[in-house]
Structure 1
């Protein structure tokens, strides 16, 4: 396969990260690049053996067969069993590892794969962690010749890019669970949110932010790819907030902007463990713009950013006030076990492990300040 074809495949993979509807096209292109006519990418929960994410590309698999696979055939798929012991990016030919006797006795082959006109597979684990495994299978008709070493080398050429795209996709589908917000999470929020670097350059923004930039009275605009204010005397304040949020140690802050439609702008340091920071290799800040008419408190903003329940917000508020879980349980007449369960949920949603880390992360949401 040519370098031009490979560039097309790689571009499709990274486009799919930003536009999930394009995953089927990207998986299909990967399969074709490796010499297949159909392809499947599957992320499986290794403990519960259930499908977390599935893409099947090709005419052999209409929607109903995709559903049948996820609900039943994944549990008996010999490819999945084979891949559990494989190394990441170790591509194998099914004809060398799945013998004719297995095929003849396999419900998966006899009732699912062979009736679709498919018989040969080139497969590998393309990403794996402690709890999940993502596999990729390129398939050929049983009337075609089996996959060979040239197909394997072609698969290796896109394999690492596929892994990176999968990891980026997983980060972006974290939704509202933590302030390491992915692109899909940011887009899902009904408030203007964007991610900027230390120079104010915009790395990601959601639709609400785009609408804000188009409104002359919003007080904000994008200039040469950077966020700035429409009022000259407010530019320095915004630049300083971004500087403070991206230096070490980092500090959050807020300012009021706009004249006809007053709003508050919050600048929040992104955690050093943020996948965005790992990808961009530099300090980043989360910028959140709220309409003053909504009168969001800092705690309410925290709740929206982390998708906290009202009960979790009350526990968070108590912890920020310096109270212990035991003191909170006693004061509000709540069972201590219930508070501990809510605390565990707070740890999970904010990506923290200890109470001190949780308080530090929650405390990063800046208080509302007029003027500065």
Structure 2
């Protein structure tokens, strides 16, 4: 086993994934190969788990880890603070060999899954820390001190990558908030824990006794409505395939009630290392709505033609129909669609429709 890894190659791959979130799983595959390990995956230090980059070889073990409750009995969590401090750790940095022999986590879970040693590598700083967990099998060597020093150097490189990824995602979130301001719609960005991390001007104008933020959470004057929203956000963040939740009514005294929607937008929120993962949109029925195409242009930097196509697709139309309607070739429509995919961060038309459904449906007041 080599005493060092190609840190530059791994860093470069992380930098590419920070810009293109579709690459995260392939980065985990590359890390596994470069470190001579069984597999690799990346955990958030805090928050929900659906967005976990992982290589294919480790997915069955990860499923067993979650499904059988080992996620709540993970003894490696004891090493998180040390990993944050040092940059990289392995099991023997925080548990003794005797503890490992007696531990159900190590013997009934890890050994049963054919795993032996691991290295935990810090990715990021502050409130947005992830752990790059590199797993080795019982047939492979434990991580050596020199390998851990190499991984600690990698952690230093990844700090700036994580900051860049977070900044890029946050910039896109700011654009989305600004777009909702254009349509006079209140919107809030949530992180993976469901905390409010950003609020637009339209939302601030609604705050008062009827709707307010407390301890980083959005609340209604109605305890029932507040509980419904909290449950919807939790379900949205933990459900891998969900893109939106049913509307929730926030009552107001002597005024029409507000309609509150929790939305998860893949193009904005499903990037690892992102500082936010969902949107809450508050619709005031007493306010006049502006065209949704303007929202898409401002929020996703779409051209006018692309925004019109996105609105049409979200409303149930198709490329052929829109091409005939506008008198252009299907190839032109496909080019527009490809550009929309790139700007919104989705890869298929079904994903685009799911992402925009809550914003574009004629039945949805958003």
Query: Common fold, TM-score beyond 0.5?
Result: no
TM-score by length of 1: 0.44
TM-score by length of structure 2 reads 0.45
| Greater gyration radius | 1
Bigger RCO of structures 1 and 2 (CA < 8 A, at least 6 apart): 2
